[in-house]
Each structure stands twice: as C-alpha cells, then as structure tokens.
Structure 1
Amino acid sequence: MNASDRTPADLLRSALAADPSRPLVTFYDDATGERVELSVATFANWVAKTANLLQGELNVEPGDRVALLLPAHWQTAVWLLACSSVGAVADVGGAAGRADAVVAGPDALDAARACGGERVALALRPLGGRFPVAPEGFADYAVEVPSQGDRFTPFAPVDPDEAALIVAGAEYSGAEVVARAVADAERLGIVGPGARVMSLLGYDTWDGLAAGLYGPLAAGGSVVLCRNSGDLDDDALAKRVETEHVTATAR
C-alpha cells in the first residue's frame, strides 16, 4: 500500500501499480472441487466491470447501502471492492429490506426479495457461470457484467471518512477499513509481497474479511480463500499449505 491509500479501492489501485501479474485471490470450493486463481490485474478488471454495473446500470450512488447476501467467495471479494470504488456501503449479510440494492447468492434469493431496489443474483458456479434460468426479479450477474467497461471512474470522489462497510453490526469508514486491515495484517503475520494467508473463515465477521481480503491486500500479499472446507482433515489442509506456499493460516 501507499501512504495515501485511504479506501479499499485505493489499496487495489496501489497493488495494481506495484505488480499486476502477481496472484491476489486463490479460491477453493471444497464442495465442488473448484479452484480459481486471480492475479491483481484480473481481479481489478472484475472490480472495474462490477463498479460500472453498480454505478451505470443499477444507479447506485455514494452512500447507498448494498446488501451482500453472499458467502466467502472470490466474487464476493469483487463486490466488496466494487462498492468501495463507487462509494457505496457494503452491508455484509445486511437486511435486504433496508438496502438500496441487494446482491444475493442462490441460497439467499428469498431473503433478497425484501429489497425494493435493484436486485442482482450470483449463481456462484465454477468459472463465474450464469444461472440456467435467471431468477425472477433479479438480474443475473454473469449475464450483465461481461459487457461492462474495463476501466472505472466514479461520478463523484469517494470520501474515505464516510461509511464504507457494515459487518456483524459494526460500521466502518473506508479509512477505518484500511487502518484496521494494516493492523490485522501484522497480527496475522501477513508481511510483504511474498506473504500468503490461507483463510478458512467466512465473510460474516471482520476477522474473516481481514484474513480473507483486506489484510492481504493492504500488505501486498495474497489470500487462499477456502469455502466448504470443514470436512478436510489435517493432512489435506497441510498439503494445501505446502502446495499453495501458505505462510499463515486463519481458521
């Protein structure tokens, strides 16, 4: 990160400028066998497209609340950074009825229908695949995002002191997210570009977000994000640590 970085979107821009080709997010879904690795450049491209979708198609403005009814997943990480890019408040697991827009996975569609604003559904299928049939009342993210622009410019500057994230009932400004991410990266032992943390935590707590996204991003490291890993034994986890060159584990 740079000293001038005051929002999560700033952290991503600094990572892109420093080394766009290095891995940033490696995602495992141990229920499906999926493994996806995204470089900084690829991740940033997804973020730009998603931010353009938020701002241009969904008419989300700075300060609007976007309920993210999603698990720990690489696409969730994309949405968190897209909200930061626009200046929207990412409300992780928040009440859809109080949100200006909602983004939901296949298991949360019923809860998401309480939102009176824009609704986006993510199939969370391997390779970012679409729904066979889009859920009624929802835009299919996998259908809508490919045509969006590869570069993003917010209509208005993002204020780092305004609310940016709500998780587990706590609200943080963009600047607070960055400051906490830096502190937690040190606590987790994520230090320097070679640092690689394996996170088995969900995204429904600050600790899960710090280990599974913000900490590695702030430290110039990377994350191995694992979903549905509860049935893996110690030998399987140890093999993954070795294969993925993990330097720290959060569980």
Structure 2
Amino acid sequence: MHVADLQSLITREPGRPRVTWYGDDGERVELSGAVLHNWINKTVNLLVEEFDAAPGVRVLLDLPPHWRSIVWALATWRTGATLVLAPQTGGSDAVGQDDGVPDAGRARPDRPVDVVVTSHPSAWDGTDAQLVAVPLPALARRYDGDLPHGAIDAGSAVMTYGDQIGWVEEIDPDAVAIDHGDGTTTPHDALSRWATGSRPPHEGGRRGLLEPTSTIDLLRGTLDLLAGDGSVVVLSPTTSARLALDPAARDRLRQSERLSD
C-alpha cells in the first residue's frame, strides 16, 4: 500500500478521527480523515514547489514524536522522496557544512540530505541543506523564534498551499522510502510490510493507543493502524510518563477515546 492508497482509505469516512494527539501541556489535537488528508496535500505541494521533492530527493526528519511528524513523513512518501531519520550527531555530520572550509578531510556521508525538516532550525544553521522550521505547540501558525537565512517557516507556509495535490511524480515502488541511518533502507512498496512486520495490518477500524519513545516508532505504529482502516491516539512521552503515575486518569482517557483492547 502506497501513501496515495492510504489517503483514499482514510477519506472514505472523512469525518472519522484518524489521528488524535495529547501533547505535553495537555493540548488535544484531533485530525479527521479529511483534515489529515488536507494537511498531507498541503505539505506535499510545499515540498514539490519549494524543493522539487520527487524520487531521489532526501528529506531528513528532525522532529520528536508528534502529530506533525506523521504529516511530514506521509507527505514526503507521497512525493516519492526518501525520508531520512535524524542522526544522533550534529547537523554538519549529516548534511555537510557550508563554512568556506575545503571539504578535504571532513567526514561526510555518501548521500547528504537535500532538505531538513526540524523543530530546532538553529542547530542546522550553516549546513548545506535547505531548512524547514516546524512549530510544535498545538495548532501554531508560525515558528516562534529566529530562523536561519533562507529557512521556510512551515507554520505559516503550509497553509498557503492548496488542499488538493497540484502535481507530483509517480511513486517509484523500488525507490527508497526510509533511510534508517544504520545502513538499512525500506523501499516504497515495502512500507506497509515494514509497519506490520510478518502479520497483516490491524483491521476492523481498530483505535489504538501509541506511546512512542521515538519518531520511527510513532510512524511505524501509525502506518500499521491506518493501513487497517483504523485510527491512532498518540501520547507525547511526557504525557505518557504522567499517566503512568495516575492509573485512574489513564483509564478515563482510554474510555473517553473509546480505545480498542
């Protein structure tokens, strides 16, 4: 299943919740199928028009587990581009650094990234990649902070693009969808299998709770549930830790969100 197929699936019931997010400050964000679809499309249009996103283009995702991480990952895959997982090292190690110093002797990857999508753009200032600054608080419409020269403020820019995809290259099923950063990759035609492992996707509209400690765990769990026509309720790591100390509040959340067993 490609992301285009996933979008068709989640919009069969456009008003049904598909992604529900509980953030650190108690904010709750709910995206219906129609709203998630629109966010993906707007982000696809930005990636294509600003960065020529297509098969072969590498987009590094430097965001924590968050509902916006889901949108940016799905949009990247919808363009056919490669999603690169953020390294533990600094920005210059991942994309190279434009500081006027010759590259001789500098350790750089064989395939540097083209675009960095990040919630802390200052960490990538001076690198060769094009930067997209993503605000994380609730439904923020702009990035609240200083932006490096040339960086795009996703909070305001995404909303200027259309709700329908204007043009995008056809997805190459054999092209790399995920560069895991450890020498392994996942092609586009294996995204669903990567998410579900050896079993079929959860089916029957299951509404599952995700408490990811990493962004890749969030993406894997989300794909698994959405591919089975389900939905996800995602807790930020801070919210998850707080509810672990308050079983009664955790039970109330499970009941209010009508989570599957």
Shift of residue 154, structure 1, vs aligned partner: 3.9
SS of 2:242 mapped into structure 1: coil
Identity %: 31
Conserved? CA contact 1:92–1:166, under 8 Å: yes
Q: Is it true that 1:27 corresponds to 2:38 in the alignment? A: no
2:249 equivalent to 1:236: yes
Instruction: Report the counterpart of residue 65 of structure 2 in structure 1.
Output: 72
Tell me which amino acid in the other structure corresponds to 1:64: V
User: Residue 51 of structure 1: which of 18, 30, 44 is its match?
Assistant: 44
Q: Quote the RMSD (CA, aligned, Å).
A: 2.1
Work out whether 1:175 is the aligned partner of 2:185.
Answer: no
1:6-61 CA-to-partner distances (Å, cap 9, x unmatched) read: x2332122222x212211100011x2111000001100101000000000022223
Q: Which one of 147, 150, 153 corresponds to residue 140 of structure 1?
A: 153
Conserved 8 A contact 2:84-2:181: no
Aligned to 1:119: 131
Whichever residue aligns with residue 174 of structure 1, its letter is H
How many pairs are equivalent? 234
Partner Cα separation in structure 2 for residue 96 and residue 236 of structure 1: 43
Aligned counterpart, 2:108: none
Return 5+ residue gaps in structure 1 as ranges: none
TM-score between both structures, scaled by the size of structure 2: 0.82
1:100 to 91, 108, 114: 114
Q: Work out whether residues 185 and 210 of structure 1, in 8 Å CA contact, stay in contact via their aligned partners in 2.
A: no
SS at match of 1:197: strand
Q: Distance in 2 between matches of 1:180 and 1:131?
A: 33
Secondary structure at 1:216 match in 2: helix
Larger radius of gyration: 2
Which of 155, 158, 167 is residue 171 of structure 2 equivalent to? 158
Structure 2 spans left out of the alignment, 5+ residues: 88-93, 97-111
TM-score, structure 1 normalization: 0.85
